[in-house]
Amino acid sequence: MNDPADLTIGAAGAALRGGELTASELLEAVLKRASMTEAHLHSYLTIDREGAVEAAAAADSALRKGDDLGPLHGIPIALKDNMVTRGIETTCSSKILAGYKPPYDATVVERMRQGGAVVVGKTNLDEFAMGSSTENSAYGPTRNPWNTDRVPGGSSGGSTAAVAVGSALAALGSDTGGSIRQPASLCGVVGMKPTYGLVSRYGLIAFASSLDQIGPMTRTVSDAVDVLGVMAGHDPKDATSYRGDLPDFGSGLDGGVEGLRIGVASELSGEGIDTPVVDAFRRTCDALAEAGAKVTELSLPSFEAALSAYYLIAPAECSANLARFDGVRYGLRKEAETVEDMMAATRAEGFGPEVIRRILLGTYALSAGYYDAFYGQAQKVRTLILEDFARAYSEVDVVVSPTSPTTAFEVGARTDDPLSMYLSDLCTIPSNLAGHPAVSVPIGLDEGLPIGFQVMAPALGEQVMFQVAAAVERMAAFDARAPLATSEIS
């Protein structure tokens, strides 16, 4: 057998059940991969070796007794460090939460454990998930495993880098404006944002509550279906949690695309997108048409203003959510004479520049006299985007685009220009504003760097979205192994 760290969830599960592999051996392989790659990548903030070894032993013992907890039983996974884990340091990559050991587990963490998954550790992110490169971490950046001079994307860059090199078989990320899909695209893995409400946000440290959604990052589309299946479902602890029945997300994986109607989003596949990315995207669209899909161009005119609307709505919500970091109940405190001075000093010291920038931006956009011109207007654009999507889905089953306008950019290239960084999210933001599901699938390389293909679907359209994504995956036949995972590292 190959190195177990290179297995998909599906293959590892079969080996575990066939008695060819134990969860403890699988974990050891993954930890060994982490020890080889971490010095170059920095994808983890915390590795919980002790807890993971214990969980793997428990998974083995349960399986021996015939107690099978499902597709993630014995599978080593990583968690983005904005999901709280009881007793395990959770910092959100911020100094303001250094040393914080939460008194409870997020619902997704509980569900992972109940599903037999082995939590390896907590992954690096842009502070409070604000960023597109994982450079805004108070604990240092994560590097791209395809080329360590490049960024892994963000904000879930630690999670994607870990999956790309096999220091986890899957990871959970969170996606507010593309923070799962954009890094998945830049690291050559599958990353999926579910329909808003499908996965509980309880215990996800909030950034923008009407946009945030937790989702899977995996090596294959089928693995993403398995992880989503374990996470999804109603949670009384999240008032926005979906209450209806869940579809069988993976029932269309082998269905192909014959007869399906696929819309190409004109606004997201021309101007502002690098030529090699557009070319690879167009070739995949042609292949889908050859396979029997009806591929048409669609215009969604309000998408032109989606980025602007997002960079008002997300900061506005963040400025409210991050008010809770005030030096009273947890984390950092800077002493001062009065309570207000203590709070202001704590926050200025504890937050990094991008977080401060967005809090200021959101505070301004919500302040008296400017509310209607900025925040109110952005909310109306959000309505127009929903209407454009609704028109599109009256004609097609899915909408497709490139995931990221570029492949991975160089470390430091955009850190001094917030606006150029924000443009990384051009193609991913509309799905967040609409609350719709979307997935990125790797389709090829340009100069050794991965390119991602995005499939968007209407609310609760995961089934058809995964069906198209699986077809794209088969056509691309992408070998999802980053060089850092396989080569001897000097």
Partner 1 sequence: MPVDIDIHYVARLARLALSDDELARYGRQLEGILEHAALVQSLATDGVEPTSHPLSMTNAFRPDEITPSLDRDEVLSQAPETQDGYFRVPRILEES
Q: Which residues are catalytic?
A: 80, 155, 179
Cis peptide before 174 (omega within 30 of 0): no
Minimum CB separation of residue 271 from partner 1 in Å reads 14
Tell me the Cα Rg of the chain. Answer: 21
Per CB under 8 A, contacts with partner 1 among 355-394 are 356-357, 359-361, 363-365, 367, 373-374, 376-384, 386
Of 197 and 442, CB closest to partner 1: 197
Of 53 and 423, CB closest to partner 1: 423
CB 270 within 8 A of CB 300: no
From the list 147-155, 186-194, 344-352, 472-480, the region that binds partner 1 by CB under 8 A is 344-352
Does residue 312 touch partner 1 according to CB under 8 A? Answer: yes
Does residue 348 touch partner 1 according to CB under 8 A? Answer: yes
Q: How far apart are CA 424 and CA 406, in angstroms?
A: 8
443 by DSSP, 3-state: which?
strand
Of 203 and 216, CB closest to partner 1: 203
208 by DSSP, 3-state: which?
coil
CA distances from residue 302 to 44, 193, 329, 439, 478 in whole angstroms, order as listed: 38, 21, 42, 21, 33
Those residues with Cβ within 8 angstroms of residue 461's Cβ, 6 or more apart along the chain or in another chain: 195, 393, 397, 398, 436, 437
Minimum CB separation of residue 102 from partner 1 in Å reads 8
Per CB under 8 A, contacts with partner 1 among 201-240 are 210, 236, 239-240
Structure tokens at 196: 């808003």
Of 186 and 355, CB closest to partner 1: 355
From the list 10-18, 144-152, 283-291, 434-442, the region that binds partner 1 by CB under 8 A is 434-442
Of 220 and 424, CB closest to partner 1: 424
From the list 53-61, 76-84, 99-107, 216-224, the region that binds partner 1 by CB under 8 A is 99-107
Residue with tokens 């083995």: 60
From the list 61-69, 278-286, 320-328, 444-452, the region that binds partner 1 by CB under 8 A is 320-328
Q: How far apart are CA 138 and CA 285, in angstroms?
A: 40
CB 440 within 8 A of CB 454: yes
Of 147 and 195, CB closest to partner 1: 195
Sheet containing strand 438-446, strands side by side: 44-47, 118-123, 76-80, 170-175, 213-218, 190-193, 438-446, 449-456, 398-402, 261-265, 294-298
Minimum CB separation of residue 473 from partner 1 in Å reads 27
Of 198 and 480, CB closest to partner 1: 198
Per CB under 8 A, contacts with partner 1 among 445-474 are 459
Minimum CB separation of residue 178 from partner 1 in Å reads 16
Does residue 415 touch partner 1 according to CB under 8 A? Answer: no
CA distances from residue 424 to 163, 347, 392, 401, 434 in whole angstroms, order as listed: 21, 28, 24, 14, 18
Per CB under 8 A, contacts with partner 1 among 264-283 are none
Per CB under 8 A, contacts with partner 1 among 107-126 are none
CB 45 within 8 A of CB 161: no
Structure tokens at 315: 């900061």
Q: Number of residues in contact with partner 1, rule: CB under 8 A?
A: 75
